[in-house]
A and B are shown apart, each in its own frame.
Chain A
Amino acid sequence: MNSRLTELFDGVYSFNSVILTKNLVPGKKVYSEELFHFNKEEFRSWNPNKSKLCAGIKKGLKNFPFRNGSNVLYLGSSEGTTVSHLSDVIGLQGKLIGIDISTRAMHKFLFLCEQRPNIFPVLGDANTPGEYRNKLEGIKFNVLFQDVSQPNQAEIFNKNAEMYLSKNSLGLIAIKAHSIDSSRKPKEVIEAEINELEKKFEILETINLEPFEKHHALIVGRKK
């Protein structure tokens, strides 16, 4: 138990086995997280049960490509729990474009956008990345993050990476085995998806997200 504030990555801290990010908008909460105060600075706690990135960090993620000023393409932003922490890390100089297909989730995501100036919303289907190409003109992306629950997850990842991601940059994908095929064994399913991803990515890490999520895996890859 670390009773000291230690920095794990750029902008990500840990205190007593609780992972924190520095709050970009001090005094305001996004969801049911807790606020911590150290040295007149405010930090927000990150819940690994709700966020798959945080679960990956707790299970020993080594490659954390989010930095101050990086441009992130986030597929499957939903209501914005993980997005808020990433916007803390990126800072005001970075950009995060969040794409989601459901209107109900976008409703709540819009409130986040009004709070934080570095989040850009898009209502569209990640399966057809050509839909929103005009909106994303002129932005170079450093990182691609995906958290959708669709049967063709790897395909979506590859398509979007081909169009938007630059060479030798990292991409992270959270695979949910049950949304692909709930009757097969999760290990087989995940291996099949990794085989598909290897066509465009060189895989660096595969992390099993138990006990935070069942039959989930977080995969880190570098674009070829």
Chain B
Amino acid sequence: MDLSDLRNQMIHSVKKGIKEEYTESDLHIIKSINLVDAMDETVNLLTEHLREWHAIHFPELNQLVNDNEKFIKLVAELNERKNFSFEKIMKVIEDISLAEKIALKAENSAGEETDKNALNEMRSLAENINALKNQRKQIQEFIEKEMSRKWPNYSKECGSIIGARILAKLGSGKKLAFSPSSTIQVVGAEKALFNYLKKGGLPPKYGYLFAHPLVQQAKKTDKGKTARKLAGKISIAAKKDYFSEDKPKSKIIQIPEMREHSFFKKEFKERKPEFKEKDSFGKGFRDKGRRDFGNRGFKKDFGSRSRDSDNRGFGRDSGNRGFGRDSGNSDFKRKSFGDSDRKPRFGNSDRPRFGDRKSFGDRDNSRSFDRKPRFGNSDRPRFGDRKSFGDSDRPRFSDRKPRFGDRDSDRKPRFNDRSPRGDFDKKPRFGDFDRKPRFNDRDSERTPRFSDRKSFSDSDKPRFGDRKSFRDSDRSSFRGSSSNSKFKRKSSSRKPKPNKTKFKFKKN
């Protein structure tokens, strides 16, 4: 059938294509670097199992030996408690103190006497874990060999393992050669990258390149820069390796290594301008405090101030303060501490400190009450200064009649004799204090309060308190006003009236 021929041809061509792609590919590197990570995890898992299992027989060993390698060696070679003598342990581990402790505890151990079958299984497990560890080392060597064989320049720039990880993530050597340096910089931090792309914020500075020694040694501010520049050089090297036809080691092109790069040769000073001090808090002050004035000058200008928190025992703030016993003409007298003077350091700057101030600016000179008071400003009204609040008419002590003994002369000052200060008779307002209003802070023109209300709304409904009279709306007052006898209420009006007809008869 034509169809079957066609089909066979297609299958054949597919197999050919697969073979072409698999020959001389980077798949061995990719698979092996994935294997290395998986092996680390499995080795850790198996050692945990071994520890818990062996602890049934010899629990003290599990507690004493924290290092996994030593533990596995001991179990692999000396399995049973009987074999744990000092000499035998020293052959396996070269640690005297540990060996002593183990040998002691082996005699009186809390574990059971287990069968040989179980112990044999434990021993074989320990041997297999050792074999896995050795294989992991071999695989790492294999990776390094392959990378240096296929990607010599690339593996020289970034290490063989970091290079293999980047290769594995990208998928193939072609993608590595065709990808820009920004992807190489960020490979490994995809989660952060796509979060940045979707939501915004700051992008990641490095991915797998974080493990590179140059990036790790750099300062915090320079880590991103080093990663970026490294990635640029790495991409050049990868392109060189991919597009060259012969790759023997003799043809490696000398790309200038990062350490010789001019970026790293500059020191801190050359890169940034010198830290210049301001004159107001600069050397002038500094010298004054140390040499000329002594104790008084320092404290007068800046108040008392405890330097103990800033004194670290070294640096600018330690040592001679310029006053006290240690000041004066002594041979040990440092005027500057070298670079630390200029460089900004913690505790180094002469910035004004919280405890120094007595006053700031113009606010101290004027004593107006309208301006906002500040902490330390002695002009603000204080709670105890008030004389009266509100319209309360209650009698006060100051209203009492003068008594014998209240003589004006030679009188000691009394609470009520104090004079108002400034605009003090004005009642303090809510905005003048930085504290919440208190019950006694009521104003004369006081804000309306809940208890002041006479009506809740604009309703015109008459209220009980609005009434002027019980009977007639004409009557003005309840009790009656004496001014107008017309509207005077008679007491008899309340009593029940007898049925009397009014008649008057007048007689001449």
Contact = CB atoms under 8 A, between A and B. Distances in A.
B10 interface: yes
Interface stretch (B11-19, B298-306, B350-358, B450-458): B11-19
B198 A121 contact: no
A19 interface: no
B18 A117 contact: no
A173 B9 CA distance: 28
Given A110-B11, A113-B11, A117-B7, A103 B17 contact: yes
A103 B197 contact: no
A25 B4 CA distance: 18
Contact of B14 (A95, A117, A123, A183): A123
Nearest to B10: A120
Contacts of A103: 17-18, 21-22
A117 B4 CA distance: 8
Contacts of B4: 117
Contacts of B21: 103
Contacts of A37: none
Nearest to B2: A138
Nearest to A184: B198
A182 B10 contact: no
A103 B21 CA distance: 8
Contacts of B197: 182-183
Interface residues of A, number: 14
A182 B198 contact: yes
Given A120-B10, A135-B10, A106 B198 contact: no
Contacts of B10: 120-122, 135
Contact of A123 (B3, B17, B22): B17
Contacts of B13: 123, 135
A123 B6 contact: no
Interface string B1-40: 0011011011101110110011000000000000000000
B194 interface: yes
A86 B199 CA distance: 41
Given A110-B15, A182-B198, 15 more contacts: A95-B3, A103-B17, A103-B18, A106-B17, A110-B11, A110-B14, A113-B7, A113-B11, A120-B6, A122-B10, A135-B13, A182-B194, A183-B194, A183-B197, A183-B198
10 contacts: A95-B3, A103-B18, A106-B14, A106-B18, A113-B11, A117-B7, A121-B14, A135-B13, A182-B198, A183-B197
